[in-house]
Amino acid sequence: MTEAIALDYGSFTGAAESAERRTASLLLIGLNHHTAPVAVRERLSVADAKQAEVTESLMRLPGVEGACVLSTCNRVEVILSGAAEADHVVAWLARHARCTRDDLEPHLYIRHRGEAISHLFRVAAGLDSMVIGEPQIAGQVKKAFGAAALDRTLQQLFDRTMHVAKKVRSETAIGAHAVSVPYAAVELAKKIFGDLAGLRVLLLGAGEAGELTAEHLAAQRVRQIFVANKTWQRAVELSQRFGGSAVPFSAFEEQLAECDIVIASTAAPHFVIDAAQARRALHARGRRALFLVDLAVPRNIDPAIAGIEGAYLYDVDDLQQVANGNMERRRCAAARAEQIVAAEVRSFGERLAIEDAVPTIVELRSRFDEIRAAELEKCLRRMGPIALEQREAIEQFAMQLTNKILHQPIVELRRSESLRGVIRRIFGLRP
């Protein structure tokens, strides 16, 4: 045991100087969609072009050693290392938002050290998002730290945050199920066709939900998207966006036989596609499957089409049911993700605690080495001439005794931040 401890001291000595400079704390202050309306969030929002300027301004606050700003549509948070005081940061945020502290403070949350670590891990894992498990936030966190002023602590925090986000994704199904109506439509299409690459899509109407569904389908590399809309110019604009083709609304039936997926989202108060049209299209397709999504209310597609062989019809209620079921699956996965985050927070917190203890351990070891060397020299002078083997035995005894005495204090120093001040006072180390 004593040999292992002696080796440990050697590693501490090499890290002591950097440990002296590392942070005494982590501080996270911000607001999000849970605590503030968009009118407040947008006042604190930081554009990409302003990231460097804002970070530099934060670095000028007293005690700040590292600074990162995470700004998305749903949250604005500053993560700081060093000895920054929350009061100074809140005042800075109020100035940045050009509002009074009284207006801003009710919306803010303040997290210190372990709570700050836990919060950031949960954010990156998608556990604090408006939609549980949404994948974009991890990339946004990565981008924020890429533009940050990173000291040793924030670099470690960033590395571990990305590790946690990846671990949650790989070990849980938190992002595996569609929880929006448009993406639920894509998920169902995959179940019918498998790979969607090479398929043709007909978009009837330019409603928001239909447009978003078409975006998801385009991301699946469908072959072509046709757009039919009452307003021709709108059809042209939307089709160009997807690299597709505009179709006169009065002639869209010709495309039913050519397209594999039909998305209807018009404002028509009646059916735009009836059962007879669907039968003709399926006959022309040689009974190849036709997937129809009715996102309109009132409905655009005759529900009787669902009974035709080869036709797969889903309306808004069907898709919402799928999305709700998937959200429940994500909530179940989130429970496991929370366990992963909690374990990672403990692990990272222990690592920081050990590093924070390094200066005290090194100084304590140095103090004992001074005492040991001085008392050993007195003892050897009093003994007079002795053999080399005897001198080495006495020196070895003194070293082992020192290691034995220091072992438990070092173990406790690693565990307890409050004990460091006590040890420093007892052994006369510098404050």
Active site residues: 73
Nearest to 379 by CA among 401, 363, 408, 405: 401
AA identity, residue 13: T
HSE (side-chain half, CA atoms, 13 Å) at 225: 31
Rounded Cα–Cα distance for residues 117 and 114 (Å) = 5
Tokens 């700081």 belong to which residue?
A: 80
Q: What is the rounded (10 degree) CA torsion for 418, 421, 425, 430?
A: 170
Residue 317 CB neighbour total at 10 angstroms: 12
Rounded Cα–Cα distance for residues 107 and 379 (Å) = 67
Strand partners, 70: 77
Tokens 């595996």 belong to which residue?
A: 176
25 within 8 A of 151, measured Cβ to Cβ: no
| Pairing of the two strands 64-71 and 75-82 | antiparallel
Rounded Cα–Cα distance for residues 373 and 74 (Å) = 61
